[in-house]
Structure 1
Amino acid sequence: MADKVQTTLLFLAVGEFSVGILGNAFIGLVNCMDWVKKRKIASIDLILTSLAISRICLLCVILLDCFILVLYPDVYATGKEMRIIDFFWTLTNHLSIWFATCLSIYYFFRIANFFHPLFLWMKWRIDRVISWILLGCVVLSVFISLPATENLNADFRFCVKAKRKTNLTWSCRVNKTQHASTKLFLNLATLLPFCVCLMSFFLLILSLRRHIRRMQLSATGCRDPSTEAHVRALKAVISFLLLFIAYYLSFLVATSSYFMPETELAVIFGESIALIYPSSHSFILILGNNKLRHASLKVIWKVMSILKGRKFQQHKQIGRETMLF
């Protein structure tokens, strides 16, 4: 029964991986082509491209871990492979979350309307420093990911394999405690960008409320370009927050799996739920960005034209064969 559930979850993970790669690769390809064409890249496109690349890497790491756990569980026996997977999963995980937070912050500074001198100064400087902010996110993510490899020794996997036995040695218990504390630290570290994103969300709501009041007082209506920009930004931030909560809970399940009776099943279940966040959020970003939305509509139109052309050719070929007989 457990094998059937693992196989089902693995197929589900492959489907989510394919959808995520399609959406994130589309974002990166469109922005890179525009970058080559114009020989410069806008700040929003740079953030979206960095986010798409980090999520492609995250999807690859999660799916690789699923395949290894199901098909080659003994690969982790030495602890070296587990150390590598944990490092890259932690790195891409934090990169994805920090880049999404940078996107929320950028939406806030470009769309919100406040008159505080500090806000106006940062709003004027945001396009100039965004590349340095992204680079700082990379350095910070690497620094946070280092404990994932330092506190994993070669005996940890043996302790996980032997957890069902009642006569666990003291070293195994200490090993598990160290690993649990490391994972707890890494999980809590993701709450910082979440809180920053949540703060930008509430400030955007406050800015939208003030803007609507001004529009009502001036009797110009509420559906102006600034209001629509606020609404689009809020939709993107809300979708990130909701998907991040689901991803965070599934990440807790996957990283705490060595305390559960079925370790591999718990990990695959957590990872299959975790794949929803980097896979689905990319399409929400595509729908919320005018350039990406228009590019996706062009691709859909071309695909439909090709399919209609092939269908017409098939009907035409069938008609010719009927006339011959």
Structure 2
Amino acid sequence: MARKMERMLILSAVGEFSMGILGNTFIGLVSFMDWVKNRKIASIDLILMSLALSRICLLCAILLDCFILVVYPDIYDNNEKMRIIDFFWTLTNQLSVSFATCLSIFYFFKIANFFHPLFLWMKGRIHKVILWTLLVSLVLSVFISIPVTGNWNDNFRSCVKGRKKTNFTWRCGINDNLYASTKLILNLVTLFPFAVSLLSFLLLILSLWRHTRQMKLNATGHRDPSTEAHIRALKSVISFLVLFVAYCLAFLIATSSYFMPETELAVIFGELIALIYPSSHSFILILGNNKLRQTSVKVLCKLKYILKGRKI
């Protein structure tokens, strides 16, 4: 029964992985082609392309771990290989969260209306601000991921694989404090970009409230371009926040699963939920971006035309 459940979860993971690769590849290609066409890249395209690439790598890391656990469990005994996978997963996870935060920062500076000198100064240099933010995010993500190359995760993997073996309590009692403290630190680090995105979301709400109040005083309609831009940005940021919370909960399930009766199933189930975040958010970004949405409509129309031609 457990093996059947594992296969079902793996098939679900492959489906989510395929959708995520499709959406993120589309975002990356559109942004890259626009860069080549205009011979320069806009800040939003740079963020979207970086975010799409990091999420493609994150999806590959999560699915690879699922396959290793179910199909090639012996690889769990090779600590060197697993440390590389752990580092790759942690790095892409940190990059994905950081780049999504950069997107929230971009929406805030591009759309919000404040008259503070520092805000206006940074808004006028938005391209440089975003470029430096992306570079700092890359450096910090590499630095944060380095502790994963240690042996703190070896105990967790042995527990996952050896749940049904003897001496389980002894094997899982080694370095529990080290594992828990390192995992706690890594989870707390991800809260900083989440807090920045949350702050951007709250400031966007404040900017929208001030803008709509000004529209009322001037007896102007509420659905002006600025209001629409605020609402689109808020939808994008809040979708990231909600999906990221779900992702963190899934990650907590996967990394704490050696306390659960069916450890392997708990890990796969946690990773299955974790795949929702990088997969579904890409389609939310496509729908919320005019250029991506229009391009996707054109691509779908062409595909429909080609399919009709083949039927004829």
TM-score under structure 1 normalisation? 0.92
Corresponding letter in the other structure for 2:152: L
Corresponding letter in the other structure for 1:201: F
Corresponding letter in the other structure for 1:15: G
- Quote the Cα distance in structure 2 between the aligned partners of 1:153 and 1:110: 41
- Quote the Cα distance in structure 2 between the aligned partners of 1:215 and 1:309: 51
Q: Percent identity?
A: 72
Q: For 2:261, what is the secondary structure of its paired residue?
A: coil
Report the counterpart of residue 211 of structure 2 in structure 1. Answer: 211
What do the CA deviations read for 1:303-325 (whole angstroms, capped 9, x no partner)?
111111122x2xxxxxxxxxxxx
- Asked if the contact 2:211–2:227 (Cα under 8 Å) also holds between the matched residues in 1, the reply is yes
Report the counterpart of residue 183 of structure 2 in structure 1. Answer: 183
Corresponding letter in the other structure for 2:189: A
- Asked if the contact 1:243–1:277 (Cα under 8 Å) also holds between the matched residues in 2, the reply is yes
Asked if 1:53 is matched to 2:47, the reply is no
Report the counterpart of residue 66 of structure 1 in structure 2. Answer: 66
State the shift of 1:175 in Å: 2.0
- Asked if the contact 1:159–1:176 (Cα under 8 Å) also holds between the matched residues in 2, the reply is no
Corresponding letter in the other structure for 1:295: T
Aligned pair count? 311
Corresponding letter in the other structure for 2:15: G
Distance 1:109 1:186, change over 3 A: same
Report the counterpart of residue 285 of structure 1 in structure 2. Answer: 285
State the shift of 1:152 in Å: 3.1
Per mean C-alpha deviation after superposition, the further-off stretch among 251-260 and 204-213 is 251-260
TM-score under structure 2 normalisation? 0.95
Report the counterpart of residue 241 of structure 1 in structure 2. Answer: 241
Corresponding letter in the other structure for 1:239: S
Q: For 1:190, what is the secondary structure of its paired residue?
A: helix
What do the CA deviations read for 1:112-148 (whole angstroms, capped 9, x no partner)?
0011111111111221231121011011011111111
- Asked if the contact 2:73–2:161 (Cα under 8 Å) also holds between the matched residues in 1, the reply is no
State the shift of 1:81 in Å: 2.3
- Asked if the contact 1:151–1:182 (Cα under 8 Å) also holds between the matched residues in 2, the reply is no
Report the counterpart of residue 132 of structure 2 in structure 1. Answer: 132
- Asked if the contact 1:78–1:154 (Cα under 8 Å) also holds between the matched residues in 2, the reply is no
State the shift of 1:166 in Å: 5.7
Asked if 1:110 is matched to 2:110, the reply is yes
Corresponding letter in the other structure for 1:81: K
Distance 1:183 1:191, change over 3 A: same
- Quote the Cα distance in structure 2 between the aligned partners of 1:174 and 1:255: 16
- Quote the Cα distance in structure 2 between the aligned partners of 1:71 and 1:160: 14
Report the counterpart of residue 29 of structure 2 in structure 1. Answer: 29
- Asked if the contact 1:78–1:155 (Cα under 8 Å) also holds between the matched residues in 2, the reply is no
- Quote the Cα distance in structure 2 between the aligned partners of 1:246 and 1:234: 18
Which runs of no fewer than 5 residues in structure 1 stay unpaired? 314-325
- Quote the Cα distance in structure 2 between the aligned partners of 1:217 and 1:180: 55
Distance 1:8 1:124, change over 3 A: same
- Asked if the contact 1:19–1:279 (Cα under 8 Å) also holds between the matched residues in 2, the reply is yes
Asked if 1:77 is matched to 2:86, the reply is no
- Asked if the contact 1:108–1:204 (Cα under 8 Å) also holds between the matched residues in 2, the reply is yes
- Quote the Cα distance in structure 2 between the aligned partners of 1:278 and 1:153: 24
State the shift of 1:193 in Å: 0.7
Corresponding letter in the other structure for 1:293: R
Corresponding letter in the other structure for 2:231: V
- Asked if the contact 2:160–2:264 (Cα under 8 Å) also holds between the matched residues in 1, the reply is no
Per mean C-alpha deviation after superposition, the further-off stretch among 267-276 and 142-151 is 142-151
Which runs of no fewer than 5 residues in structure 2 stay unpaired? none
- Quote the Cα distance in structure 2 between the aligned partners of 1:264 and 1:241: 28
What do the CA deviations read for 1:226-280 (whole angstroms, capped 9, x no partner)?
0000000000001101111111100111111222222211111000100001000
Q: For 1:69, what is the secondary structure of its paired residue?
A: helix
What do the CA deviations read for 1:24-43 (whole angstroms, capped 9, x no partner)?
00000011111111110100
Asked if 1:261 is matched to 2:269, the reply is no
- Quote the Cα distance in structure 2 between the aligned partners of 1:17 and 1:156: 25
Counterparts in 2 of 1:163-182, with a 5 A limit? 165=166, 168-169=169-170, 173-182=173-182
What do the CA deviations read for 1:189-230 (whole angstroms, capped 9, x no partner)?
111111110111010000000000111111121111100000
State the shift of 1:167 in Å: 7.2
State the shift of 1:74 in Å: 1.1
- Quote the Cα distance in structure 2 between the aligned partners of 1:53 and 1:203: 28
- Quote the Cα distance in structure 2 between the aligned partners of 1:153 and 1:239: 31
- Asked if the contact 1:79–1:156 (Cα under 8 Å) also holds between the matched residues in 2, the reply is no
- Asked if the contact 2:156–2:258 (Cα under 8 Å) also holds between the matched residues in 1, the reply is no
Asked if 1:196 is matched to 2:196, the reply is yes
Report the counterpart of residue 97 of structure 1 in structure 2. Answer: 97
Corresponding letter in the other structure for 1:227: T
Corresponding letter in the other structure for 1:257: S
Corresponding letter in the other structure for 2:44: I
- Asked if the contact 2:122–2:129 (Cα under 8 Å) also holds between the matched residues in 1, the reply is no
Report the counterpart of residue 302 of structure 1 in structure 2. Answer: 302
Report the counterpart of residue 316 of structure 1 in structure 2. Answer: none
Distance 1:140 1:36, change over 3 A: same
